[in-house]
Structure 1
Amino acid sequence: MALLAGAPWRRYAVIGDSLSAGIGDPTPGYRNQGWPDRVAGVLRSVRRDLDYLNAAEIGATTARTIENQAARMAEFSPDLLHVPCGANDIVRRRPDFGGTERTLRQMYDLAKDTGALLTTFTLGRAYVVPAFPDWPERIAAVNEIVRGLAAEYGAIVVDMWDHPVNDRANLLSEDRLHFSTSGQAVMAAEMVKKLADSLGRATSA
């Protein structure tokens, strides 16, 4: 909480897919709560008047995020906004990475128009879809797209690709895709640290 004391954000929004929604199986010893709600809780602890919207939709591609969530996002007028990393765009027989980049750029344009500080994350190496033998290469490609766009648009990136949490035995839910609440807690902590960094505060403690 101290890291975000006096944080300026009053309207926090999250758009995207199930990873943005923060779904996952419970882990013993961890509060059964996804990372976005955890971040909202920390923000609300330092700013009680925080308004929070999570419009994320399970299974949403970037295109569906734009189609179904952009209007709500704009109407909400966030000053802190999380955007997805295109995970569902690459779950297809032949992913179109050029198309994914164009659609993500369209989403970033709409998101930037809100004036909000943008956040996103990359996919971790523990995120596995066995049906695609080239899955690690797909993740690497979409992560590079996300890193490039984030740099261009000034977005905060929580880079989960090689984070130590990938090695946790209890990281993934039964579906082997989504973080359990153990991983959700780590994701939230990393997001809070990045937000603190944006305020110019040390996070080494």
Structure 2
Amino acid sequence: MCAESLLPSSGRRVFVALGDSFTEGVGDRDERLPNGVRGWADRVAEKLAKANPGWEYANLAIRSKRLRHVVSEQLEPALAMKPALITLYAGGNDILDIGTDMAVLMDDYEKLVARLAGSGATLVLFTGFDVKVSAVLELLKKRNTVYNQRVREIAAQYGAVLVDYWCLDAFHDQRMWDSDRLHMSKAGHKYLAGQVLDQLGVPHKIQPKEWEPLPRLSLREWEQQQRRWVNDWVVPLFGRKIRGITLGDSLAARWPEPVRVPRKRGLKKVAENRAKATGA
């Protein structure tokens, strides 16, 4: 059941989403939409428009962006849109970088939150999830713990809505994750959209998946999965880090300017109309 709505029913209704791949929608593939993904933020925008027509939506998030990029590339454009609702997840890619100073990172995060909260918009923040992908990444657990504790403190300090992703038990099922094990699957994005909407008091009919238990893998099957994951995802990831490139280098924001979200067929209708207008 949703709580009382935290959002305006009239006046300027603009939702702006900031961040990286988490908010861009990576893992929730849809070739009909910009950058070939959909994601939880698109789903939230569509439910906002369905519950209360007239909402506009911009998504400035781009995969691989660090906190400094969100500040330098997304902050001012977002504030210029005079949003009523802002969502922010940033810093996860910094946690994966060697040499990140967590104290400095979280100080910069707080400064960003202060600017966003000062806009008067309803602000939604997220903790990070402790993804169990490999013992190799267990060294990052301490950083995740620091990040999450500071996000909780900062959310309380600035009156932000907190989606405590760390505590969402549904994400312990591996089917909530894409094949890279770091990004949510379609089911994961859909479930998270429901969690955000619940926190904001927006009605919706998103229901969690009800799956049968996964079959137990043999040792050989498990080893094959591990080798496939390392070859397909881990090796390319470290290769990009060595070369100093990211998957987001050639991408633009999916919805860089606020678009009016149709009550029926949502953002897919917007994308189709754009394609017709450009002859694509």
In the alignment, what sits opposite 1:148? 153
Q: How does 1:12-161 map to 2 (within 5 A)?
A: 12-25=15-28, 33-126=38-131, 128=133, 131-161=136-166
Residues 115/93 of structure 1: CA separation in 2 closer, same or farther (3 Å cut): same
More divergent stretch after superposition (98-107 vs 16-25): 16-25
Q: Is the 8 A contact 1:35 1:184 kept in 2?
A: yes
- Give the C-alpha shift of residue 93 in structure 1: 1.4
- Give the C-alpha shift of residue 3 in structure 1: 6.7
Identity rate of aligned residues, in percent? 28
Residues 133/55 of structure 1: CA separation in 2 closer, same or farther (3 Å cut): same
Partner of 2:57, secondary structure, is strand
Partner of 1:147, secondary structure, is helix
TM-score, normalising length from structure 1? 0.85
- Residue 50 of structure 1 aligns to which amino acid in structure 2? W
Structure 2 residue 194 is matched with structure 1 residue 189: yes
The alignment's C-alpha RMSD in Å is 2.6
Partner of 1:134, secondary structure, is helix
In the alignment, what sits opposite 1:171? 176
- Residue 15 of structure 1 aligns to which amino acid in structure 2? L
In the alignment, what sits opposite 1:8? 8
- Give the C-alpha shift of residue 113 in structure 1: 2.5
Q: Is the 8 A contact 1:14 1:82 kept in 2?
A: yes
Residues 4/94 of structure 1: CA separation in 2 closer, same or farther (3 Å cut): same
- Structure 1 stretches of 5 or more lacking a match? 27-31, 198-205
Distance 1:162 1:41 in 2: 25
Distance 1:111 1:98 in 2: 20
Residues 130/54 of structure 1: CA separation in 2 closer, same or farther (3 Å cut): farther
- Structure 2 stretches of 5 or more lacking a match? 30-36, 203-280
**Which one has a larger percent helix, Structure 1 or Structure 2?**
2
1:77-97 deviations in whole A, cap 9, x for unaligned? 101100114211211112211
Residues 7/145 of structure 1: CA separation in 2 closer, same or farther (3 Å cut): closer
- Give the C-alpha shift of residue 67 in structure 1: 0.2
TM-score, normalising length from structure 2? 0.63
Distance 2:72 2:133 in 1: 27
In the alignment, what sits opposite 1:203? none
- Residue 8 of structure 1 aligns to which amino acid in structure 2? P
- Give the C-alpha shift of residue 22 in structure 1: 2.1
Residues 7/98 of structure 1: CA separation in 2 closer, same or farther (3 Å cut): closer
Q: Is the 8 A contact 1:83 1:119 kept in 2?
A: yes
State the number of aligned residues.
194
Residues 25/192 of structure 1: CA separation in 2 closer, same or farther (3 Å cut): closer
Distance 2:58 2:6 in 1: 21
